[in-house]
A and B are shown apart, each in its own frame.
With several copies, the nearest count.
Chain A
Amino acid sequence: MADVRRFLYINRKAPYGTIYALESLEVVLIGAAFEQDVSLAFLDDGVFQLAKGQDTSGIGMKGFSAIYRALGDYGVTKLYVETDSLATRGLTLDDLQAITFEDENDGYTEKPSIIPVNKAEMAKVMAEQDVVLSF
């Protein structure tokens, strides 16, 4: 574990309008196998990725919002969500789907993966990384 790096995936784009959100998620899933210190940042339109109740049946595209709920099983448990971005978009944390993980260091207690942060806190999260990937 000498080479554990802090990876941050930046999500600033809405889902479906473009493929970046989905293909970013595909990197996160593959990356989970590499045992790095992984965080996801959702800010600006990226917060829309986590909106609950997504139903893509009418647009002929595959929905992928369920994948976010599976991230915990891959050991991806830190999803930083910027509350300022939510507010700008008329959303609150209640408009997001619940995403949890079972904490293996705490008797597999179910805990929330979403970590609400304000802009200043998000800036600090960004500053603490080794590798920042944006798509």
Chain B
Amino acid sequence: MKFSILVNEGPYTHQSSDSALQFARAVLDKGHEIYRVFFYHDGVNNGTRLTVPPVDDRNLQKRWSELAAAHALDLVVCIAAAQRRGVLDEGEAKRHGKGEGAANIAPGFRISGLGQLIEMGIQSDRLVVFGD
């Protein structure tokens, strides 16, 4: 079965991202497919490479990036929500004059439009929302 996941909250502050990650792993363990994971609202903050959690704590961005690498997941960060909250890829950082090296999108995440959220609602058998 084709699953998609919507993550509405950032890492650490709410459990949403942790729950979504555990759910994603279980979906894959059960032999299902993950069509896409979409990050909206503060959820876009899961995709910043600048987080430095305490050494004895989990690194949620890395967990997402690693899961994406291992299973060729499509992790999409909403562009409008990301701009509001300061998550930019190289093109965005350049366009908005944020300076060389300012792009903070993490490996395995890509920035795209809200259409990707609607599309995953159309293309997936199941869509599960994690939020506050």
8 tightest A-B CB contacts, nearest first: A30-B114, A131-B121, A31-B118, A34-B118, A19-B13, A19-B12, A17-B15, A62-B57
Name the interface residues of B1-49: CB closer than 8 Å to any CB of A: 6, 8, 12-15, 18-19, 21-22, 40-41
Partner of B131, one of A3, A7, A135: A135
Q: Could you tell me the dominant secondary structure of chain A's interface residues?
A: mixed
Q: Which of B6, B113, B122, B131 has the most CB of A within 10 A?
A: B122
Does residue A59 face the partner (Cβ distance < 8 Å to B)? yes
- Interface size in chain A (residues, C-beta < 8 A): 24
Find the A residue at minimum CB distance from B115: A30
- The closest CB in chain B to the CB of A13 belongs to B132
| Bound-complex Cα distance A135 to B118 (A) | 14
Within the assembled complex, what's the spacing in Å between the Cα atoms of A135 and B113? 17
- Range of interface residues on chain B? 20 to 34
Residues of A within 8 A of B119 (CB): 34
* B110 to A: closest C-beta gap in Å: 17
Bound-state Cα–Cα, A36 to B115, Å: 12
Mask of B80-98 contacts with A, CB within 8 angstroms, 1/0: 1100000000000000000
> Looking across the interface, which residue of chain B has its beta carbon closest to that of A38?
B118
Contact status B15-A62, CB under 8 Å: no
List, in ascending order, chain B residues with CB within 8 A of A30's CB. Answer: 113-115, 117-118
Q: Please list the residues of chain A having a beta carbon within 8 angstroms of any beta carbon in chain B.
A: 3, 5, 7, 16-20, 23, 26-27, 30-31, 33-34, 36, 59-62, 131, 133-135
**What's the Cα separation between A120 and B124 when bound, in Å?**
29
Q: Hey, which chain A residues are within 8 Å of B63, CB to CB?
A: 60
Give the Cβ gap from B46 to chain A, nearest Cβ, in Å: 14
B129 proximal to A (CB < 8 A):
yes
Q: With a CB–CB cut-off of 8 A, which chain B residues contact A26?
A: 80, 114
Centre residue among B40, B56, B113, B121 by max chain A CB count within 10 A: B121
